């Protein structure tokens, strides 16, 4: 059936990393829930195993609704790209492969109703989008706050020609019309402020200047009660003139297909759940710095000491390498035997990819020590778990600001970025105790969970927006 016969067909083009893929698939699954057909364009090969596993599970869960289209990436000599991060290198590789997209899209047997693409791909996609006969939408995989910053950077950059962000973003931070307070300079992603040009900075400046072009709307995994001020400023034309509508469709729910069926992951999760079942309600701290952030070697021992000292049970997901396929070393080798056995007396430590949403939803989990990747933020909100933010890099201080403003978490700003000074074990223990014992965080987290359920439920803001969008595409087919 074609879109003119009433079926809406939406193509999704995500970028690299679970932090991008996960929310893309959740948005795609939401459209499927409302009767749409989906084409998932998958840049291949993926960087991590977690991504390729998730793509397979997603596609096999929706055999009749999803068509997978491989975008076989061109090879890029890593020494020609100014980044050492394999995920950023992949952003660039996808950008350089987008000329391969039109021939692939021409193979589709049903016309597209809409094309939804990742934030990291704007500029090189413009010439592709221009030739599409359907509207296109940006999916911004971080917060509305970060999107406001991203959009505002174009104004600052245009009014300071030839200057680098480190000179046009002053000590008073970035003032955003419609925001009660500016975004402090210290919260700006470090790569943006780096004196020497780098990939993240270059892509961001280039794309931000093009954000209003050929763009019919922006989807964000956020909602009114979490980020009302930023969403209003964006939609009120305050942040940037000419921005299309910004749709807060969050919090997007985790889906059944996300549950790992690989033997290793299944086994790991069942022993985690068994252990959690034995702990008392709200007594466990869940610790994870995301899927693509390795805990620095210098930090790991103090992290272990902090967890041992905090007095709570803990579930600690450790990553020793940025890319999961390369993570081969045992934790014992890093911690040493003695510390390692002390850690295991008090809690559970794993290196596997876990089902984070299931963990956050377990009644024994009472707090989340998180780096603040935006997906982790929306998941902790969804499950109503108080948060201790420890931003490691990129947009994570802005996430920490959102969490702090929401009242459901704390952020010890003096810890700095995870790449700066080592935070001592006793300090980590002190802050965990503060999070776990603070009743007002718990109350606020519970309220936000209620608001999240409402936003994502029947008749909620997500459903209203998605349905309206689908109707509009049908009308214009």
Judged by CB under 6 A, does residue 83 bind ligand UDP? Answer: no
DSSP string, 239-287: SSTT---EEE--SPPP-GGGS--SHHHHHHHHHHHHHHHHSPTT-EEEE
Q: By CB under 6 A, is residue 379 in contact with ligand UDP?
A: yes
Output the smallest distance, CB 95 to ligand UDP, in A. Answer: 9
In the complex with ligand UDP, the residue whose CB is nearer, 8 or 307, is 307
Instruction: Identify whether the C-beta of residue 200 lies closer than 8 Å to the C-beta of residue 189.
Output: yes
191 binds ligand UDP (CB under 6 A): no
Q: Which residues pair with 70 in a beta bridge?
A: 42
The answer to whether residue 203 forms part of the interface with ligand UDP (CB under 6 A) is yes
State the number of binding residues for ligand UDP (CB under 6 A): 33
Instruction: Please identify, among the stretches 93-101, 196-204, 209-217, 422-430, the one whose residues bind ligand UDP according to the rule CB under 6 A.
Output: 196-204
The contacts of residue 427 (CB under 8 Å, 6+ apart) are: 306, 412, 415
Residue 206 or 413: the one with the smaller Cβ distance to ligand UDP is 206
Residues 125-144 that bind ligand UDP (CB under 6 A): 140-142
Q: Which of 390, 382, 320, 305 is nearest to 352 (CA)?
A: 320
Instruction: Tell me whether residue 118 is one of the annotated catalytic residues.
Output: yes
Least distance in angstroms from the C-beta of 144 to ligand UDP: 10
Q: Contact, 179 vs 229, CB < 8 A?
A: yes
> Using CB under 6 A, which residues numbered 257 to 286 contact ligand UDP?
none
**Each residue of 105-144: b (16+ CB within 10 Å) or e?**
beeeebebbbbbbbbbbbbbbbebbeebebbbbbbbbbbb
Give the side-chain half-sphere CA count within 13 A for 240.
23
- Work out how close the CB of 89 gets to ligand UDP at its nearest, in angstroms, rounded to a whole number: 12
What is the rounded CA–CA span in Å between residue 165 and residue 162?
10
Catalytic residue among 9, 85, 118, 393: 118
CA 347 to chain centre: 27
Site for ligand UDP in 348-377 (CB under 6 A): 353-357, 373-376
Stretch that binds ligand UDP, among 4-12, 14-22, 108-116, 162-170 (CB under 6 A): 14-22
CB of 206 to ligand UDP, least distance (A): 9
Does position 290 interact with ligand UDP (CB under 6 A)? The reply is: yes
Least CB distance to ligand UDP at residue 334 (A): 18
Give the shortest CB-4-to-ligand UDP separation in angstroms: 35
User: Exposed, middle or buried by CB within 10 Å (0-12, 13-18, 19+), for 236?
Assistant: exposed
Cis peptide bond upstream of 225, omega within 30: no
Find out whether 122 and 134 touch, Cβ atoms under 8 Å.
no
> According to the binding rule CB under 6 A, does residue 86 interact with ligand UDP?
no
| Residue among 17, 248, 313, 425 that touches ligand UDP (CB under 6 A) | 17
Query: 303 to 342, contacts with ligand UDP by CB under 6 A?
Result: 317
- Look up residue 453 and give its two tokens: 């359920």
Q: Which of 57, 95, 292, 383 binds ligand UDP (CB under 6 A)?
A: 292
Which of 86, 24, 44, 80 has the alpha carbon at shortest distance from 327? 86
User: Under the criterion CB under 6 A, does residue 18 sit at the interface with ligand UDP?
Assistant: yes
Give the integer Cα–Cα distance in Å for 273 and 385.
17
Is 302 considered catalytic here?
no
Q: Which of residues 22-81 bind ligand UDP (CB under 6 A)?
A: 22
CA distance 74 to 96: 7
Among 291, 295, 380, 465, binds ligand UDP (CB under 6 A): 291
CB atoms within 10 A of CB 265: 17
Site for ligand UDP, rule CB under 6 A: 17-19, 22, 87, 119-120, 140-142, 146, 150, 200, 203-204, 288, 290-293, 317, 353-357, 373-376, 379, 394-395
Residues taking part in catalysis? 20, 118
């Amino acid at each position: 059936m074609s879109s003119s016969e009433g079926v809406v067909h939406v193509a999704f083009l995500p970028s690299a990393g679970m932090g991008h893929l996960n929310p893309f698939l959740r948005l795609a699954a939401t459209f499927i829930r409302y009767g749409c057909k989906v084409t998932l364009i998958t840049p291949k090969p993926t960087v991590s195993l977690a991504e390729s596993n998730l793509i397979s599970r997603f596609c096999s869960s929706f055999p009749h609704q999803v068509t997978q289209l491989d975008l076989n990436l061109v090879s890029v000599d890593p020494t020609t790209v100014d980044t050492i991060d394999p995920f950023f290198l992949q952003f660039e590789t996808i950008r350089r492969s987008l000329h391969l997209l039109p021939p692939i899209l021409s193979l589709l047997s049903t016309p597209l109703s809409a094309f939804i693409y990742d934030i990291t791909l704007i500029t090189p996609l413009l010439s592709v989008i221009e030739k599409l006969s359907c509207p296109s939408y940006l999916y911004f995989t971080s917060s509305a706050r970060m999107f406001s910053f991203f959009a505002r950077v174009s104004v600052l950059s245009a009014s300071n020609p030839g200057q680098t962000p480190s000179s046009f973003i002053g000590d008073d931070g970035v003032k955003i019309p419609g925001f009660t307070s500016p975004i402090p300079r210290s919260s700006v992603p470090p790569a943006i402020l780096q004196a020497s040009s780098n990939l993240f900075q270059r892509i961001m400046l280039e794309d931000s200047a093009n954000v209003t072009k050929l763009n019919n709307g922006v989807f964000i995994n956020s909602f009114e009660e979490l980020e009302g001020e930023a969403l209003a400023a964006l939609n009120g034309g305050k942040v940037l003139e000419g921005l299309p509508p910004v749709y807060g469709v969050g919090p997007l729910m985790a889906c059944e297909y996300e549950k790992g069926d690989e033997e290793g992951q299944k086994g790991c999760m069942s022993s985690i759940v068994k252990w959690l079942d034995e702990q008392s309600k709200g007594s466990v701290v869940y610790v994870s710095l995301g899927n693509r952030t390795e805990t620095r070697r210098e930090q790991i021992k103090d992290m272990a000491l902090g967890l041992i000292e905090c007095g709570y049970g803990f579930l600690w997901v450790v990553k020793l390498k940025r890319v999961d396929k390369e993570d081969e070393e045992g934790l014992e080798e890093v911690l040493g035997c003695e510390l390692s056995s002390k850690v295991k007396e008090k809690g559970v430590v794993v290196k596997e990819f876990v089902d984070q949403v299931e963990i956050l939803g377990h009644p024994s989990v009472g707090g989340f020590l998180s780096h603040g990747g935006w997906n982790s933020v929306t998941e902790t909100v969804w499950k109503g778990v108080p948060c201790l933010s420890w931003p490691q890099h990129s947009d994570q201080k802005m996430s920490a600001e959102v969490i702090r403003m929401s009242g459901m978490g704390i952020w010890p700003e003096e810890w700095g970025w995870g790449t700066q000074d080592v935070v001592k074990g006793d300090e980590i223990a002190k802050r965990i105790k503060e999070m776990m014992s603070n009743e007002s965080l718990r109350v606020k987290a519970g309220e936000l969970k209620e608001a999240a359920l409402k936003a994502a439920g029947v008749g909620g803001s997500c459903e209203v927006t998605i349905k309206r969008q689908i109707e509009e595409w049908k009308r214009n087919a």
